[in-house]
Structure 1
């Protein structure tokens, strides 16, 4: 049922097309920035539904306009639409997130769980252009750095603290993702259909991937890019498509620089594009297909080295490594993602898409097959977790749940359009009814994408800033993470040293996102650089805590195989000792970490070698 009339873009020069799409990117970015600036002037209380009311009404208008543009080829093909559609999509994304978060400088999730290390990375790259680890000193970056590096550089250019730039950078990224989806789909289907699919993509992104914007930047255009690569790799008789092969390689390389799981997933898809058989074709055709797929992969690998080269060189030099990143299995990674069975507007659209893919597998294969293979590959990724459990790993398949939902939604939109066009030939009035139904479904999906009562929104208003105050203006001194400004003042008074030159042990998350201190240990092994030797560092911390006196502690610090901390930010105990939390990997248990403490008796810092201060609930010991 998926339409086969995969129209190329309107006849226009390549230069004009590039200029118009670049204009769309500028329009999307400008729309996002202007709206965020305007929304930042609002003073709405929290909690409130006032912002939701404004966002809902505005999105109803935006969805209606976009559906109207997508209902006629002449309108969708125009230069105004090419530039304007990305701006409208950006407005839709920005209004929802901007109004829900207008009273806080944190993004969704505040500084909790995964947002803690993401904000820390941005703070790191706001302080240096070097591809260094977000936490450990003297280690190359391991977490794919492209998005964070660019955001950090922009934050530094604008004089904005990295932690404060994370929110606007994330929202802007979601707007760029909507633009990328719009451009990619215009290379696959007619402009009118591209408008509607891009609108659906923006709505899906709000619901399933807003908390991880750099991942959505890759997922949003992935279905369209997959179709283009599928055709290019399998172009046996229809002529080669070097531009599509090169574009697929660039996409794969950007994915490797941004989100390695998605890069690996898409790389497998590229290989499948070569090996999935075509009825009536000789097996010999697989050889040139594999060659074309290999070209895509080679381009991707070459680009990946832009970010990964320092880490690869360190590994090749023989440095020991151990990664804990894949030792994580939440409930949504254990259960397969089946969005087509959800009782929601998008769930219904996914079901329509699944039916369209199945019915079009043989008759309309140019779109149905690549989308179907992409969806099946996600399910195979879930199945892969079982054998990986035997070696103490998982496939992290839950991170790919947005991919299968988006693939089925896009297929659903295209199938619904095809059905409407077929019926319209007999009942012209169906066109208007179809447009109204499309607008209602997408508007309902947008309204339900992010709940104002959700945990991520609440956390963005509760977590204290590095200033100690919460977004609502209060200061709760009973929270141990509300003492960051006093901790910073104590450390700088005792050291007179920039944060970038200090290694510290302990302290709240805000301490590490406020300024780019180097932690001796990462907050959890699953974020830690594999080169860091996480377990050995834990043992080293325990050995320091077990020293007999200050002199022995100093000797052990000096003998450390890693740069030892100069600053200790420990939780003060009633007996005068200070403790720091140690995290142990206990996978496959849930949760996958266990917590212990290392206790430093007061006598270990009773020496002229240390300056000791009490700061709220903390004991701050600084080596002179």
Structure 2
């Protein structure tokens, strides 16, 4: 822990005071401070991320050296997971202790980085040690995610996961990086999914720790990161590409609030010049380049400008602006929903900051306050009160611009194409309303360890809302999620939703962060209230450790369905990790070999029409139709393709089928992969039936075998499949 910061909290940018300077010198100092802040943060983040990556790689490699029993048939890996979690907890506790006693700060940093990343690695990696698949295997949603990673492993170009010749609709950021990792490791995309998912979450957790340490006390930063990482692994890890955003959300919101709400600095810039033409002692230029309080008590006060003492050390909040913008931009390239919710929360922060500063300006300009200021060294801000809203709104706009520039790297191709292509109004990505999306999540009412932590967090958010910047930032984030949930429910009247059911994990992580702060501050208050009993601190630490271990050792139990599916699904090598007979997926390698031999083209130059879309998760062929409309690119016209497939099945001759395929508005299939059924070949397709739950209905389309009795078609039976390739 760095010395010199307040006992309560410090920010990414400490308050500073300045000698009177000219405008150019002040701007130059701020630019230099901004460069120092960004450079130091990025440098530490790179080192921490590299160390987390090494820990994850070493751990996963070590796990792979032993032939473990399957998780769903033995408790061996569960037992070893608990041992590893205890070891990681020891490292985290040691780091906190070193930070508390202010000894060997770099050793403490390394221990905290290793401890957090080791926790993620062992908690997810050990239960999955005997399988090559990640949580949920290649089932349900994980099928299209694996397909996307396979696609971007095959090529670094931005491509849709399924359809040829259309730009990607789903953000490619996480999958693109994963593709490059798979290329470096020489692995297929499906095989790289598990180590990449675990490694990326370990890296994200450590980056969250680095960010927290630049916002608050270092020992508190380790504790709150440990809490939020545990909750993220428990409830967000099946969607690994969303989990990396979820774990970074709490410190990012605190950072954004520090960028937007700076009442002392903004008031100082508007301070009136006295009648004699001189600046008052605390007038313009006297406030430091950054006004993110080192003490929570100053968070909402219309504080006077600081006395003149020294040159600026900080960047006027622009370091926080850059950081918040980068976070939003990366979120937009990784996971659209969490980006939109985070942007909504930060926009709400900007509105709250603007209103608060206008209110404080009016209060300062009240006649009674002005009379008091006339006899004090504090100057009264000049100009209309509404001008106080300008600085936070300008910084909000800057955050939006930065995030937009980063997001455009992934989104620009799709947006440009959508300007010239008619997008069907029947897009169904938002057509899902499970029971959890029809009610507000209230985890603080549940009688569990996490429920208790969320309850503590809720109480802390309310009690400290007027005095803590952390509570204000996290509280606005929580309010934003509840508002989004209500809007999602309201949107059902318009025939759609905002997918609020997927916000449970971000809400839990925000409340867990608040709960960690509430526990620490509550324990400190109790310690003082009880006249500082000798063994009280030891008892509190013991209680925290016992509670933490009870929670984390239950994580494999919470994830049991997801872990079990990783063992019961058949992987790309045709094996089930639980040693049971594999499914029809085991024939995929023969199908792939036949496709390559009969088409004579690379995989990424062939389009396959199949209902067994998991084939595309293992081999990077293009698909003519996606798994469901909810994951289909809106530019690909899912409904139109479905109608076309039905029309083809009703034709009565091979010649008519070939003619219809040639006239297709989309690239026609180079191959069909059917299931055999009597005298016909069948495809089992899906259609959207929202607002029903489930929101998908399966139906079969049968092609008469006579449609393919032509030299233009080559028919090959492989296991339960029939592969038909088209010669053109």
Q: Same fold (TM over 0.5)?
A: yes
The answer to whether structure 1 residue 87 and structure 2 residue 114 are counterparts is: yes
Please give the secondary structure, in 2, of the residue aligned with 1:457. helix
Q: How far, CA to CA, are the matches of 2:618 and 2:213 in structure 1? A: 42
Hey, what does 1:471 align to over in structure 2? 577
Displacement of 1:8 after TM fit? 4.3
2:622 and 2:439 mapped to 1: Cα distance?
38
CA deviation string 1:242-281 (max 9, x = no partner): 0100111111110111111111111111211121232634
Structure 1 residue aligned with 2:697? 594
Q: Which residue of 2 aligns with 1:387?
A: 490
Distance between the aligned counterparts of 2:463 and 2:559, measured in 1?
A: 40
Q: Which segment drifts farther, 373-382 or 277-286?
A: 277-286
Q: Verify: 1:490 aligned to 2:605, yes or no.
A: no
Q: 1:299 to 1:452 in 2, by over 3 A?
A: closer
Partner residue of 2:324 out of 225, 241, 248: 248
Deviation at 1:67, TM superposition (A): 2.8
Q: Distance in 2 between matches of 1:469 and 1:231?
A: 52
Q: 1:439 deviation in Å?
A: 1.0
The whole-number CA distance in structure 2 between the counterparts of 1:583 and 1:86 is 45
Which structure has the greater CA radius of gyration? 2
How far apart are residue 19 of structure 1 and its match? 4.3
Q: 1:608 aligns with which of 695, 711, 716?
A: 711
- Cα deviation per residue 1:399-419 (whole Å; 9 max; x = unaligned)? 111111111111111111112
Partner of 1:257: 333
1:29 to 49, 53, 62: 53
d(CA) in 2 for partners of 1:452, 1:400: 18
> Matched residues in 2 for 1:259 and 1:345: separation?
29
Q: Which residue does the alignment assign to 1:415? A: 518
Deviates more, 1:120-129 or 1:15-24: 15-24
Deviates more, 1:480-489 or 1:397-406: 480-489
CA displacement at 1:467 relative to structure 2? 2.7
Deviations 1:49-95 (A, max 9, x none): 11111111221232243134324434587011222211111111111
Give 1:229 deviation, angstroms: 0.9
Give, in whole Å, the separation in 1 of the partners of 2:575 and 2:199: 26
Question: Please, which of 163, 187, 201 is the counterpart of residue 174 of structure 1?
Answer: 201
Residue 225 of structure 2 aligns to a residue whose secondary structure is helix
Distance 2:497 2:558 in 1: 32
Counterpart of 1:350 in structure 2 is 454
Q: Distance in 1 between matches of 2:512 and 2:189?
A: 35
Match for residue 455 of structure 1 among 561, 577, 580: 561
Say which of 32, 36, 40 aligns to 2:64.
40
Whole-Å separation in 2 of the counterparts to 1:20 and 1:180: 9
Q: CA shift at 1:589, angstroms?
A: 0.3
* TM-score, with structure 2 as normaliser: 0.82
**Alpha-carbon distance in structure 1 between the residues aligned to 2:54 and 2:442:** 37
1:143 corresponds, among 170, 190, 210, to 170
Residue 129 of structure 1 corresponds to 156
Partners of 1:387 and 1:556 in 2: CA distance: 43
The DSSP-based 3-state class of the residue aligned with 1:137 is: coil
Partner of 1:6 in structure 2? 9
Give 1:405's aligned residue.
508
Structure 1 residue 454 displacement after superposition: 1.8
Does the 8 Å CA contact 2:171/2:335 hold for their aligned counterparts? yes
Q: How far apart, in 1, do the equivalents of 2:164 and 2:360 lie? A: 58
Partner of 1:67 in structure 2? 93
Mean Cα deviation higher: 319-328 or 79-88: 319-328
- CA drift at 1:373: 1.1
Mapped to 2, the partners of 1:264 and 1:564 lie a distance apart of: 36
Q: Match for residue 333 of structure 1?
A: 437
> Are the counterparts in 1 of residues 654 and 707 from structure 2 also a CA contact under 8 Å?
yes
1:49 is the counterpart of 2:152: no
Q: 2-side partners of 1:369 and 1:77: how far apart?
A: 33
Which residue is equivalent to 1:185? 212
Deviation at 1:492, TM superposition (A): 2.0
2:345 and 2:410 map into 1 onto residues whose CA distance is 22
Closer, same or farther: CA 9–434 of 1 in aligned 2, 3 Å? farther
**Aligned residue for 2:630?**
526
Q: Determine helix, strand or coil for the equivalent of 1:378.
A: helix
Match of 2:416 among 313, 320, 323: 313
In the aligned structure 1, how far is the partner of 2:7 from the partner of 2:707?
Answer: 74
Once residues 45 and 104 of structure 2 are traced to their aligned partners in structure 1, the CA distance between those partners, rounded to angstroms, is 12
1:501 aligns with 2:525: no
Q: Following TM superposition, by how much is the alpha carbon of 1:508 offset from its aligned partner in structure 2, in angstroms? A: 2.4
Q: 1:203 to 1:500 in 2, by over 3 A?
A: same
Q: Matched residue of 1:348: which SS?
A: helix
Cα pair 1:62 1:88 within 8 Å, conserved: yes
245 and 413 in structure 1: CA distance in 2 versus 1, 3 angstrom threshold: same
2:537 counterpart (406, 431, 449): 431
Q: Deviations over 1:134-160 (max 9, x none)?
A: 100001011000000010122122210
Q: What is the aligned partner in structure 2 of residue 275 from structure 1?
A: 351
Matching residue within 253, 267, 291 for 2:394:
291
1:129 aligned counterpart, secondary structure = coil
Distance in 2, matches of 1:304 and 1:250, equals 9
| Matched length | 618
- Residue number in structure 2 paired with 1:209: 236
TM-score (norm 1): 0.95
**In structure 2, how many angstroms separate the alpha carbons of the residues matched to 1:453 and 1:199?**
19
Match of 2:670 in 1: 566
Q: Which moved more, 1:480-489 or 1:289-298?
A: 480-489
Which is worse superposed, 503-512 or 531-540? Answer: 503-512
Q: How does 1:543-562 map onto structure 2 within 5 Å?
A: 543-562=647-666
Which residue of 2 is the match for residue 444 of structure 1? 550
Which 4+ stretches in 1 moved above 6 angstroms?
9-13
Task: Work out whether residues 27 and 84 of structure 1, in 8 Å CA contact, stay in contact via their aligned partners in 2.
Answer: no
State the shift of 1:26 in Å: 1.7
Change (3 A) 1:33 1:161: same
CA distance in 1, matches of 2:603, 2:50: 36
**In 2, are the aligned partners of 1:24 and 1:85 still within 8 Å (CA)?**
no
State the distance in 2 between where 1:10 and 1:566 align.
Answer: 59
Aligned to 2:299: none
Query: Retained in 2: the 8 A contact 1:64–1:439?
Result: no
Is the contact made by 1:52 and 1:452 (CA closer than 8 Å) also made in structure 2? no
CA 505–616 in structure 1, closer or farther in 2 if over 3 Å, else same: same
Deviations 1:284-337 (A, max 9, x none): 222322121111011111111100111011011233244311111122222221
Equivalent residues of 1:69, 1:81 under 8 A apart = yes
Gaps of at least 5 residues in structure 1 are none
- Distance (Å, rounded) in 2 between the aligned partners of 1:59 and 1:76: 25
Q: CA deviation at 1:453?
A: 7.3
